[in-house]
């Protein structure tokens, strides 16, 4: 059952569509230079990122987990939104009934000017810090890099041809004392932790409720699945929910395997989201230049 691949046909559909839902993943930020979760060996030092992105890992070794996140913060703060982020942000400004769900925690969609009423950060943000003892304290959009002096080894810049010692599994992890990690200024006892949703943790209940309400409101014309392996739940479950509301599914991904399960009424655009999205939305957002600006 081969899905359609015509950009012109899809542009027609975008122009005439009312309700559009998008699910974005790490592949949307690939063109900004941020490693995907499963790409490039998908390892951080010799750890699976999914093994570090859990409350147990933090409980067990908060310094190691903080070094992992401080490094990702540093990379995210150094990165720039790409034309894919800008295209989605422009579509959100033009289409009232467009809702963008991102699994990314890198803050690039908000930095691309994506209206926050049309964006839901399903897995939180690297730039938020919250109390591990759940006293309710949260420090939103903290841009300090490093997040504290002790985590400076995670914020060093190295020439591209050299491996940051922190990333080299043969170099011991720099010793960071727990007492030097960020602590909660509110309850004083808790450690601060990255404001992301870890594996095994529930997503924000109110946000899930709101997304489901949006989905149930009526027919959905298009479900965009952009740069995601769609392997993480409940995020990956939105495609089926949108299908049930009549959506045509359009996948944007260089990996041909991500077209599995697509029907002949669906679309598959193989390639880089930062290249493809501006073309798909051109009829609504206008022509986008190389810097991501609408002409
Ligand atoms: C929960 C924040 C319940 C942290 C993240 C078995 C079956 C089903 C589910 C489960 C299961 N076992 C466990 C679960 C639940 C688990 C889960 O889904 N596990 C998976 C691994 C099977 N889910 C959870 O734990 C969730 N919570 O279920 O709670 C609950 C309820 C009540 C009470 C208690 C508990 C929480 C999930 C959230 C985890 N946190 N992120 C952090 O970032 O460190 S998810 C994390 O992984 C990222 O946020 C990201 O979303 C995800 C990686 O996925 P992708 O974004 O798809 O990235 P990936 O690298 O995989 O793929 C990149 C894609 O881009 C590829 O397809 C590639 O081809 C493509 N690409 C590459 N370049 C480009 C490109 N595309 C376009 N252009 C390019 N240039
Ligand atoms: Zn606290």
Topology of the domain comprising 1-33+81-123+204-295:
Rossmann fold (3.40.50)
Residues of each domain in the chain carrying CATH 3.40.50.1220: 1-33+81-123+204-295
pLDDT digits (tens, 9 = 90+) for 183-228: 999 999 899 999 999 999 999 999 999 999 999 999 999 999 999 9
Q: Evaluate if residue 158 carries a pLDDT over 90.
A: no
Distance CA 24, CA 85 (A): 10
Closest by Cα among 198, 230, 203, 286 to 36: 230
Distance CA 150, CA 144 (A): 13
Topology of the domain comprising 35-78+124-196:
SIR2/SIRT2 'Small Domain' (3.30.1600)
Of 23, 125, 228, which is best to mutate to test ligand 1, by the most ligand atoms within 8 angstroms of its C-beta?
Answer: 228
Strand spans (E) along the chain: 20-24, 98-102, 119-121, 124-131, 138-139, 192-196, 222-226, 248-252, 267-269
pTM above 0.75, yes or no: yes
Residue ranges with CB less than 5 Å from ion ligand 2: 131, 135, 137, 184, 186-187, 190
Residue 52, H or E segment:
helix 49-52
Geometric angle at alpha carbon 201, from 191 and 212, rounded to 5°: 130
pLDDT digits (tens, 9 = 90+) for 92-137: 999 999 999 999 999 999 999 999 999 999 999 999 999 999 999 9
Distance CA 8, CA 231 (A): 29
Residues of each domain in the chain carrying CATH 3.30.1600.10: 35-78+124-196
The secondary structure of residue 60, as a DSSP letter, is H
pLDDT digits (tens, 9 = 90+) for 213-267: 999 999 999 999 999 999 999 999 999 999 999 999 999 999 999 999 999 999 9
pLDDT digits (tens, 9 = 90+) for 33-67: 998 876 555 677 778 888 899 999 999 999 999 99
């Amino acid at each position: 059952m081969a899905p359609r691949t015509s950009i012109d046909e899809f542009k027609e559909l975008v122009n005439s569509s009312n309700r559009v839902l998008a699910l974005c993943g790490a592949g949307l930020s690939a063109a900004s230079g941020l490693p995907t979760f499963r790409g490039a060996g998908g390892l951080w030092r010799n750890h699976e990122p999914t093994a570090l992105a859990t409350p147990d890992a933090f409980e067990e070794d908060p310094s190691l987990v903080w070094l992992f996140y401080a490094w990702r913060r540093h990379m995210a703060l150094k990165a720039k939104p790409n034309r894919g982020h800008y295209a989605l942000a422009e579509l959100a400004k033009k289409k009232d009934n467009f809702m963008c769900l991102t699994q990314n925690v890198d803050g690039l969609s908000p930095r691309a000017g994506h209206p926050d009423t049309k964006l839901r950060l399903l897995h939180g943000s690297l730039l938020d810090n919250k109390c591990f003892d759940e006293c309710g304290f949260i420090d939103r959009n903290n841009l300090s890099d490093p997040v504290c002096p002790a985590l400076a080894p995670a914020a060093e810049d190295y020439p591209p041809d050299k491996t940051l010692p922190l990333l080299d599994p043969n170099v011991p992890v720099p010793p960071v004392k727990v007492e030097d990690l960020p602590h909660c200024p509110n309850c004083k006892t808790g450690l601060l932790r990255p404001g992301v949703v870890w594996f095994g943790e529930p997503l924000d209940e109110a946000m899930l409720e709101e997304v489901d309400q949006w989905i149930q409101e009526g027919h959905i014309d298009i479900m965009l699945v952009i740069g995601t392996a769609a392997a993480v739940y409940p995020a990956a479950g939105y495609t089926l929910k949108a299908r049930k509301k009549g959506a045509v599914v359009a996948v944007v991904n260089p990996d041909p395997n991500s077209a599995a399960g697509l029907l002949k009424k669906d679309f598959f655009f193989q390639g880089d989201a930062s290249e493809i999205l501006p073309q798909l939305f051109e009829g609504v957002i206008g022509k986008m230049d190389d810097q991501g600006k609408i002409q």
